[in-house]
Chains A and B, each alone.
Chain A
Amino acid sequence: MIEFDGVGHSYGEHTVLDRIDLRLEEKRVAFVGANGSGKSTLARTINGLVRPTRGRVLVDGLDAVRDGKRVRSRVGFVFTNPDSQIVMPTAGEDVAFSLRGKGLSKQERQRRAEAALAEHGLEGYAQHPAQQLSGGQKQLLALCAMLVLEPDVLVCDEPTTLLDLRNKRLFVERLQRLEQQVVLVTHDLELLENFDRVVVLDQGRVVADDEPSAALHHYRELVT
């Protein structure tokens, strides 16, 4: 469970998040909002990538700042641009890289990496140069690099923005199949039909928090 307890965040004079109070227990939660609404910043507070300037974020009771290391081991994060998430030359090495520092043998790291790639539609790509994968495959690789760590929560910050429609749907289908709790930050409202809860943000505040159709109705009214 993720709890936002009076979370606020400012860059100097500019308030990005303003006293957010939420308890997220549902398996599929989405943050939507216009550019600059604070949704990405809010998502980044979940694993301590952004430290709130007030309030706190708890993941299964652990403070995302004070217990950052333990929280990050439970929360995976997929970013918008898959190119910036790839740190190793081949797909297999990139996924295995996530497991460095876990005290596993090289063979075990490779085995787990290949299993993760196979499970998420990249079977046979372990030796493939990661930067030569298609955009959709790169985003799946970024997903594998997180899921191989077996997180309890997966936060995805606009992961479909750079993908075409087919790859968007494939990616979201993969997300739907996951056991983990998923927090998706997105502009793609059509992707949210199977979500349990949609939180709408505007100017750093929660302006709607409901099941998808009601929340999205509110969001459409807000932007028109």
Chain B
Amino acid sequence: MSSPLGLYQPGNSPLHRAPAGGKLLGLLVFATVVMLFDEPVPLAVAAGAVLAGFVTARIRPARVLRMTGTLLVVLGAIFALQSWLLDPKSASVVCLRLLTAISAANLFTLTTRIDDLVSAVERGLAPTRRLGLRPETLGLLVGLTVQAVGVLASIAAQTREAQRARDASRSVSAFAVPFLIRTLRHADELGEALAARGVGDAREEHSEPRRD
């Protein structure tokens, strides 16, 4: 199963070369604007702009379809429900908003290294150090969150396979319980691995002057 967010695809396009901080800020502004539009036409234009971004970044259409396959199914269901509850125009606005914003986020993760994203967040949040916060930790949090989407998707896929192998495809608990246990175990092991790599230690050392 593919992750709902795309893994970085190496490349040399203008989008790949653009600084991660600028791209992140651009994504936040773009997503906010998309949420403010309430007419299908400007939303369709915004979706077209994202599509142009995929072409510029030379992302293969097959990969885009693989990533958005599940999303399109969900959007189809949302469209049907919204059309029934409200009207087709409102339904298309909701679906176009989601499609555009999520596709833009995908384009961002496909063209931005997590390492660069973490560095950009650290730099951008550097002033929060005065408030007692640790930008290094916040940067790491953002990086791990993006990574976690892929990891959780993989755990979900493996759990579903096991569920099918036990002929329990319709049982919610046969999915939810092992998924939860495996996720918690992963979190535990990841915490140990980060501690072993001296993550908290290194950041303390980096942010506080040594006295000895």
A93 in contact with B114 given A87-B147, A101-B136 (CB within 8 Å): yes
Q: Which B residue's beta carbon lies closest to that of A113?
A: B115
* Stretch of A8-16, A29-37, A75-83, A215-223 contacting B (4+ beta carbons < 8 Å): A75-83
A101 in contact with B195 given A84-B190, A87-B190, A127-B10 (CB within 8 Å): no
Determine whether A125 belongs to the interface, using a CB cutoff of 8 Å to chain B: no
Q: Which A residue's beta carbon lies closest to that of B188?
A: A84
Determine whether A85 belongs to the interface, using a CB cutoff of 8 Å to chain B: yes
A129 in contact with B115 given A47-B196, A77-B196 (CB within 8 Å): no
A73 in contact with B198 given A79-B189, A101-B206, A106-B119 (CB within 8 Å): yes
* Contact assessment for B115 and A146 in the assembled complex, using a CB-CB cutoff below 8 Å: no
Query: Would you list which residues of chain B between 105 and 125 have a CB under 8 Å from chain A?
Result: 113-115, 118-119
| Alpha-carbon gap, A103 to B207, bound state (A) | 10
Interface of B (DSSP majority class) = helix
Determine whether A167 belongs to the interface, using a CB cutoff of 8 Å to chain B: no
* Contact assessment for B202 and A100 in the assembled complex, using a CB-CB cutoff below 8 Å: yes
Query: Would you list which residues of chain B between 172 and 212 have a CB under 8 Å from chain A?
Result: 186, 189-190, 192-199, 201-206
B-side interface size class: 20 to 34
Q: B143 contacts which of A69, A79, A88 (Cβ < 8 Å)?
A: A88
A24 to chain B, nearest CB (A): 19
Q: Which residues of A contact B136 (CB under 8 A)?
A: 100-101
* Contact assessment for A89 and B114 in the assembled complex, using a CB-CB cutoff below 8 Å: yes
Query: Would you list which residues of chain B between 1 and 32 have a CB under 8 Å from chain A?
Result: 7-8, 10
Determine whether A180 belongs to the interface, using a CB cutoff of 8 Å to chain B: no
Query: Would you list which residues of chain A between 113 and 162 have a CB under 8 Å from chain B?
Result: 127, 129, 131, 145-146, 149
Determine whether A203 belongs to the interface, using a CB cutoff of 8 Å to chain B: no
Interface of A (DSSP majority class) = mixed
Q: Which B residue's beta carbon lies closest to that of A50?
A: B192
* Contact assessment for A97 and B206 in the assembled complex, using a CB-CB cutoff below 8 Å: no
* Contact assessment for B198 and A72 in the assembled complex, using a CB-CB cutoff below 8 Å: yes
Q: Which residues of B contact A149 (CB under 8 A)?
A: 197-198
| Alpha-carbon gap, A107 to B114, bound state (A) | 15
A72 in contact with B201 given A87-B144, A89-B147, A93-B115 (CB within 8 Å): yes
Q: Which residues of B contact A85 (CB under 8 A)?
A: 189-190, 193
B208 to chain A, nearest CB (A): 11
Determine whether A90 belongs to the interface, using a CB cutoff of 8 Å to chain B: yes
* Contact assessment for A101 and B202 in the assembled complex, using a CB-CB cutoff below 8 Å: yes
Determine whether B150 belongs to the interface, using a CB cutoff of 8 Å to chain A: yes
| Alpha-carbon gap, A52 to B127, bound state (A) | 39
Q: List 20 A-B contacts (CB under 8 A).
A: A47-B196, A49-B192, A49-B196, A76-B196, A84-B192, A84-B193, A87-B144, A87-B147, A87-B190, A87-B193, A87-B194, A89-B7, A100-B202, A101-B136, A101-B203, A102-B206, A106-B115, A127-B10, A146-B197, A149-B197
Hey, which bits of chain B sit against chain A, CB under 8 A?
Answer: 7-8, 10, 113-115, 118-119, 136, 143-144, 147, 150-151, 154, 186, 189-190, 192-199, 201-206
